[in-house]
């Protein structure tokens, strides 16, 4: 599966999870807002901003753009990093990491690699 197909599949998985949780997700990936999915709580109107990363199981890092980090720091209560781990065949595991990043990247940085295992330690699982 190429990177584009993996990213699209990961977004579809997270949108399905959001619907099951009672939210109304919209794919905003093409808008380059610092997140991929805007998910609305129909009871309150509050939005969740979800950045989705798809990775094959066993991957060691996740690359995050400066824009994604800044968006998470600007919306700490409403931002979720969703990591979809693709296992063998059609199997996958999905993890939600809240407040995934702790500080802004340096001025000249365009992206940062994060240790995947460290992020998963702080994640909640969604299957």
Q: State how far the Cα of 23 lies from the Cα of 52, in Å rounded to an integer.
A: 16
Q: State how far the Cα of 8 lies from the Cα of 31, in Å rounded to an integer.
A: 14
pLDDT per residue as tens digits for the range 75-90: 999 999 999 999 887 8
> pLDDT: is 123 or 1 the higher one?
123
Angle at 100 between CA 30 and CA 21, to 5 degrees: 65
Closest CA to 18 of 120, 123, 94: 94
Structure tokens at 18: 């959001």
Taking the CA atoms of the chain, what radius of gyration do you get in angstroms? Answer: 14
Count of C-beta atoms within a 10 Å radius of residue 11 = 21
The CATH code of domain 3-126 reads 3.40.1350.10
pLDDT per residue as tens digits for the range 4-60: 888 899 999 999 999 999 999 999 999 989 999 999 999 999 999 999 999 887 889
């Amino acid at each position: 599966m190429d990177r584009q197909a993996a990213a699209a599949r990961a977004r579809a998985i997270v949108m399905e999870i959001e619907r099951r949780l009672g939210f109304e997700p919209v794919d905003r990936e093409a808008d380059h807002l610092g997140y991929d999915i805007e998910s609305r709580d129909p009871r309150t109107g509050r939005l969740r901003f979800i950045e989705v990363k798809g990775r094959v199981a066993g991957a060691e890092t996740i690359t995050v753009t400066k824009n994604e980090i800044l968006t998470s720091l600007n919306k700490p209560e409403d931002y979720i990093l969703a990591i979809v781990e693709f296992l063998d065949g059609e199997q996958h595991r999905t993890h939600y990491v809240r407040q995934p990043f702790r500080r802004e990247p340096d001025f000249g940085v365009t992206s940062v690699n994060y240790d995947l295992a460290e992020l998963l330690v702080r994640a909640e699982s969604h299957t």
